[in-house]
Amino acid sequence: MTTFLVRRAVTAVLLMFGVVLVTFLVFYVVPGLGGRTTDQLAAQFASRDPSPEQLALIEHRLGLDQPLYVQFWDYLRALVAGMDLPPGSGAAHCSAPCLGWSWRLHESVLALILDRLPVTVSIAVGAAALWLVFGVLSGALAAVFRGGLVDRAIRVAALLGVCLPVVFIGPLARAELTWLFPSVSYYSFLHNPFVWADHLMLPWLTLSLGYFALYTRLTRSGMIDALSGHFIRTAQAKGLPRRRVVWQGLRTTFPTVATVFAMDLGLLLGGAVLAEKVYGLHGIGDLAQNGVDGQDLPVVLGVTLFAGLFIVVANFVVDAAYAVLDPRIRLD
């Protein structure tokens, strides 16, 4: 198992490097290939209508006048050791890990992300708990009662969940369910967990519906394959209780569900843009959208990198959990 974890750790580090490289290419290199000058690139990191002196200063500090490999090295060094900021930035140094500096807001992008992170984490974790529990249970019931009324009802519900996007469900739920959940806002979990859950229940329900459909179908198909396997028929022939048979069939779906769950949760932690916009919650997705609207490129770049690293870390955690979910890995 140690060898397996070491391999996964090395893979995660390489993936993180790949995320950093791709992010650098997309935001620094690709625009230049499209014919944009260094002044135009520097203007994306400045406030509106920057002076020539400001553009020259930003261009120098970003290293746009340097060779490409020097720019990438400076980018990596800022992530690891931070970077010094020019006069007028509002600070003298951006501490590591420096995901960038917002010239418009005069603040570290990492500080902006961390300030919004509790809102996004609350939305993502609550919605993930709902869709995981109810999606897996519904999929298991549909598989056990395959072809029956319960199976058909669950499949219809899953189909509706796939067909109804957040931009449709969100405003509808906010208009029709205000009598049940009158307040939608962020409230700290540490202050009062019950108020925290009550204020975020509508975003959770809205966001989890589509994922619920996915996990229902994923669990149902996995369990149907497992329950038709030779080891299940052998267990039934030996008189194993039905609940044990169903549990063994459900366990075989855990690795697949866990892999997809890590990807989905990592994406949501990078910003649940639609849910945050619909309900007016100021999370990471809202920060990224504001960065796009305000042409604050460092914010967009930082959020993109942060979300990518979140997905890599989430997948590594799931790979490590495979040793528990799949005993065959412990034998490698």
pLDDT digits (tens, 9 = 90+) for 189-218: 888 899 999 999 999 988 888 888 889 989
Please check the confidence at residue 36 and state whether its pLDDT lies above 80.
Answer: no
Query: What is the arithmetic mean of pLDDT over 22-35?
Result: 73
HEC assignment per residue over 231-297: HHHHHHHCCCCHHHHHHHHHHCCHHHHHHHHHHHHHHHHCCCHHHHHHHCCCCHHHHHHHHHHCCCH
Q: CA–CA separation, 254 vs 233, rounded Å?
A: 20
Helix (H, G, I), strand (E, B) or coil at 81: helix
What pLDDT does residue 213 have? 87
More confident residue, 284 or 326: 284
Kindly state the greatest CA–CA separation across the chain: 82
* pLDDT tens for each residue of 75-128: 888 888 887 776 656 666 778 788 888 877 888 888 999 999 999 989 989 999
Structure tokens at 111: 């500080």
pLDDT category at 137 given cuts 50, 70, 90 is: very high
Report in angstroms the alpha-carbon separations of 50 from 103, 128, 175: 11, 43, 43
Helix (H, G, I), strand (E, B) or coil at 108: strand
Task: Select the highest-mean-pLDDT range: 29-43, 91-105, 303-317.
Answer: 303-317
Please check the confidence at residue 257 and state whether its pLDDT lies above 80.
Answer: yes
Query: What is the arithmetic mean of pLDDT over 247-257?
Result: 82
8 A C-beta contact, residue 219 and residue 249: no
Lowest mean pLDDT among 16-25, 41-50, 175-184, 273-282: 41-50
More confident residue, 232 or 303: 303
Using CA of residue 45, residue 46, residue 48, residue 53, what is the dihedral sign?
negative
In angstroms, how far is CA 296 from the centroid of its own chain? 21
Please check the confidence at residue 48 and state whether its pLDDT lies above 70.
Answer: no
What pLDDT does residue 126 have? 92
- Across the chain, what does the average pLDDT equal? 81
Task: State which fold the 111-330 domain adopts.
Answer: MetI-like fold (1.10.3720)
| For the chain, domain boundaries | 37-97, 111-330
What pLDDT does residue 112 have? 92
pLDDT category at 70 given cuts 50, 70, 90 is: confident
pLDDT category at 136 given cuts 50, 70, 90 is: very high
Q: CA–CA separation, 180 vs 137, rounded Å?
A: 25
What pLDDT does residue 129 have? 92
Using CA of residue 41, residue 45, residue 48, residue 51, what is the dihedral sign?
negative
